[in-house]
A and B are shown apart, each in its own frame.
Chain A
Amino acid sequence: MSVDPETVKRIARLARIRVDQDELAGFAAELNGILGFIEQLASVPVDQVPAMTSGVDLALPWRADQVTDGGNPEIVLANAPGRMEGFYTVPKVVE
């Protein structure tokens, strides 16, 4: 599999990262280098192998379904780049 500049443009869009036209070829070359390196895994037979989905053999713990924190809008909003009346602000989404 090989990544072309159009594919870089598509995945950059999916990742919401602005990549300018003149950067596409460079990223495509770097990504192909990495994908070429990981391609070797395709030859390993893994059909009967279970996937390891966690670094530790531990069932997800349960806890009581109750509120344990909250009510601190100042703390939550303290680092907001834009805020108004206790809310985050973003560019207008609805016309």
Chain B
Amino acid sequence: MSALTALTLAEARDGLHARQFSATELTAAHVAAIEAARPLNAFITETAERALDAAAAADQRLGRGEGGALEGLPLAIKDLFCTRGVATTAGSRILDGFVPTYESTVTARLWAAGAVLLGKLNLDEFAMGSSTESSCFGTTINPWRRAGDATPLVAGGSSGGSSAAVAAGLCLGATGTDTGGSIRQPAAFTGIVGLKPSYGRCSRFGIVAFASSLDQAGPMTRTVRDAAILLGTMAGHDPQDSTSVPAPVPDYEAALTGDVRGLRIGVPREYRVDGMAPEIETLWQQGVAWLKAAGATIVEVSLPHTHHALPAYYIVAPAEASSNLARYDGVRFGLRVPGGTLDEMYENTRGAGFGREVKRRILIGTYVLSHGYYDAYYLRAQKLRSLIAGDFAQAFAAVDAILTPTTPSPAFALGENSDDPVAMYLNDVFTVTANLAGLPALSVPAGRAANGLPLGLQLIGRAFDEARLLNIGYALEQAAGPAPKPARWWEAA
């Protein structure tokens, strides 16, 4: 491993400005790390040549004392963001051959700030999953293994390529998207930081749509500071997304004082679920103790509709997905499988192009939206969303943020949850509420399970209160101490 790939994004930024190394050296070190890490299957598309060209241009700007906030910093992008001239797959056969002619707003902002694209990262097909096992490009392997056990584990999902790449030091940071936990769960499974911002904080323009009322883009990084830096560039109003909120973007990095004295942190009793591993409960109590020691006040709160969140999500998300994915028709882009009639061509294309999990969700979505069922399912689920959002509004009258575990378990083995869709969905039990309520939520690595695997704690905040949320996360990170890094077994593989 090169010393340059061990840097945090903030350290690399400062090193570039101090001319301790060049952007070209920094990018070349990451390109080499990516080549050595192919057994992890984190990347779908590598763009080494483009990266080195961009790094050379960044070096010129840095040499003139110019450059943006992310000048010369190599990042990788979940393959759900459209990147002009670089294939974008959403992990699906149905986008076979698709090369966008436009750029997503979030990635355009990163490149305008000087960041360097290393490549596109693996994900569950259309971001539907919690393990990247539904990707048509194969499963991403977690850089972490259980102590003394070489069984391959999943890196979480849907942003599993992003989590693996960041944890393995293949990029300084990555983008993810989060519809029900797809940034936070993989972050927890790989011992990194993942932030789902408030709905409307980052533009959804140019991101392949899954469930439009829930989807949000966010940063995945090795430290809270790095997440604050990336969010500062990713966030902001975009007229091309009608749900993008025209609110100013604060200086998130400047908010990281680590001072949480006087803040009130809620602990929701409903998040103590049956079958939760005892080490998760221990971790949670540890988080409570850390924040208390840092001067925060701990308050027990109640979010009484929590146990309805997951079933409501599994109505809203498939319903919106079935509508969004109607655009994959074999006419305008991607795969086309011929048929005798137009309808046959649609059916053949979609039958061959979509994988099992995506078909399942489109079928569920079509069913719950079909004639006579709309009120019983979709409308009822939207009402449950109101109740869940109301729970949070009530809690936030008394507290500044809410602390929970991120996941009910550490990373699991490939195939372990794939027989039963509902068992897989339970991965999202702690994360899905923030999506339904539109709130920001941050996962911070906070400890390890008995088997050595990383575990995460989640902080949920008020809408558009990311600055405070990141600062509380920073305090947790400081209390937990330096996050351990995985052994680099793949370099010997």
Contact = CB atoms under 8 A, between A and B. Distances in A.
Contact of B345 (A54, A56, A90): A90
B336 A82 contact: yes
B363 A11 contact: yes
B214 interface: yes
A18 B99 CA distance: 26
Given A3-B367, A30-B360, A17 B386 contact: no
Interface string B194-219: 00001110000000000001101000
Given A49-B383, A55-B199, A15 B366 contact: yes
Contact of A16 (B239, B346, B364): B346
B333 A80 contact: yes
B106 to A, nearest CB: 17
Contacts of B340: 91
A45 B239 CA distance: 38
A18 B342 CA distance: 13
A55 B243 contact: yes
A91 B342 contact: yes
A15 B213 contact: no
Interface in A23-37: 27, 30-31, 33-35, 37
Size class of the contact patch on chain B: 35 or more
A38 B310 CA distance: 8
B386 A51 contact: yes
Given A34-B422, A49-B386, A88-B331, A17 B308 contact: no
Contacts of A12: 363
A21 interface: no
A84 interface: no
A61 interface: yes
Contact of B350 (A17, A52, A88, A91): A17
B363 A15 contact: yes
Given A49-B383, A63-B239, A17 B98 contact: no
25 contacts: A17-B351, A18-B347, A18-B350, A31-B360, A31-B363, A34-B421, A35-B364, A37-B310, A38-B314, A41-B308, A42-B380, A46-B387, A49-B383, A51-B386, A56-B198, A56-B438, A61-B239, A61-B242, A76-B101, A79-B101, A81-B330, A81-B331, A81-B333, A91-B338, A91-B345
Interface of A: 3, 7-8, 11-19, 27, 30-31, 33-35, 37-42, 44, 46, 49-56, 58, 60-61, 63, 75-76, 78-82, 88, 90-91, 93
Interface of B: 97-99, 101-102, 198-200, 213-214, 216, 239, 242-243, 245, 305, 308, 310-312, 314-315, 322, 326, 329-336, 338-348, 350-352, 354, 359-360, 362-364, 366-367, 370, 376-377, 379-387, 389, 420-422, 425, 435-436, 438, 463
